[in-house]
Chain A
Amino acid sequence: MTLGLFYFFAFIAIAGALGMLLNTRNTVAGALSLVATMCALGAIYVLLDAYLIGALQIMVYAGAILVLFLFVVMLLNLRQDAFVGARFAKPLFWTLAAAALAAGFLALLPGAFGPPAEIPSDFGGYRAVGAELFTDYVLAFEVTSLLLLSAMIGAVILAKRKIDG
């Protein structure tokens, strides 16, 4: 059951990513298919016992980040885009090299890991993750607020029409 759900959401995730990658006519549709990918990944996080991360994935990625993308795409009224893959010197060679690397990666995977560890029942819930976040990782959490503040100031300055003085 869980495995079947995983395959279902994995299919949606890959299809959404392909939709974003191959859609050269309409960037809005590409952003929307990336929303499908993000939602499917949120479901996969829940299947992997990361409940808080799954909720945050849908709220932050599908809800905030991609809406921001959609805003900008619609604001700019973009013209068509094209692949430049044909401009690579030896596209066939690189495609084959990438396929060989991917096949090696996938072939080495089975048997590389033992059975999964036993986990407590509240693993990945907001209580357990929050307790760890505000004890062991509280410094990283505080630095995060600085990062967000500087990113906000940077975005405001960049998007201003004209910088005075």
Chain B
Amino acid sequence: MIPITHAVALSGILFLLGVLGALTRRNLIVILMSIELMLNAVNLALVAFARQWGNQAGQLFVLMVIVVAAAEVAVGLGIVLSLFRNRESVNVEDASLLKW
């Protein structure tokens, strides 16, 4: 049996790495991958707590998160493609039109 503290600590570390990736990298695809990593860290915490309390609702939430992540990736990569078509770049510094 895995102590829940270990699973939650791993989840926190993975989430931290995802935040670091989203903040320090400028490649839009890497930022999207970091967001995926953060979603996975949350999934891990949900699964660990589902095991801890013996409640399957946590696992169902993970299912929903996976679906939302799939939809997000489809739309996000569509945006990346059309951005690349217009700007010849996937660097977020080149797409700062809405920044003030």
Chain A positions near chain B (C-beta within 8 angstroms): 2-3, 6, 10, 13-14, 17-18, 20-21, 24, 27, 30-31, 34, 37-38, 41, 44-45, 47-50, 52-53, 56-57, 60-61, 64-65, 68-69, 72-73, 75-76, 78, 81-85, 98, 102, 105-106, 109-110, 112-113, 116-119, 123-124, 128-129, 132-133, 136-137, 140, 144, 147-148, 150-152, 154-159, 161
Chain B positions near chain A (C-beta within 8 angstroms): 1-10, 12-14, 16-18, 20-21, 24-27, 29-30, 32-34, 36-37, 40, 43-44, 47-48, 50-57, 59-60, 62-64, 66-75, 77-82, 84-85, 90-91
Q: Which of B7, B9, B18, B74 contacts A152 (CB 8 A)?
A: B74
A105 to B45, CA, bound (A): 14
Tell me whether chain B's interface is mostly helix, strand or loop, or mixed. Answer: helix
CB distance from A28 to the nearest CB of B (A): 10
The chain B residue sitting closest to A54, CB to CB, is: B47
CB distance from B58 to the nearest CB of A (A): 8
Please state if B50 and A61 are interface contacts (CB–CB under 8 Å): no
Q: Which of B25, B33, B75, B91 contacts A151 (CB 8 A)?
A: B75
Q: Which of A14, A27, A117, A155 contacts B14 (CB 8 A)?
A: A14
A106 to B8, CA, bound (A): 9
Please state if A37 and B40 are interface contacts (CB–CB under 8 Å): yes
Question: A129 — which chain B residues lie within 8 A by C-beta?
Answer: 56, 59-60, 63
Please state if B78 and A155 are interface contacts (CB–CB under 8 Å): yes
Please state if A159 and B16 are interface contacts (CB–CB under 8 Å): no
Please state if A6 and B30 are interface contacts (CB–CB under 8 Å): no
Interface centre among A6, A60, A117, A155 (most CB of B within 10 A): A155
Q: List 29 A-B contacts (CB under 8 A).
A: A3-B3, A6-B2, A17-B18, A20-B34, A27-B29, A37-B40, A41-B43, A41-B44, A44-B10, A45-B47, A48-B7, A52-B59, A53-B43, A61-B66, A69-B77, A76-B81, A81-B91, A84-B26, A105-B12, A106-B12, A116-B54, A117-B54, A123-B51, A123-B54, A124-B59, A140-B60, A148-B70, A158-B78, A159-B81
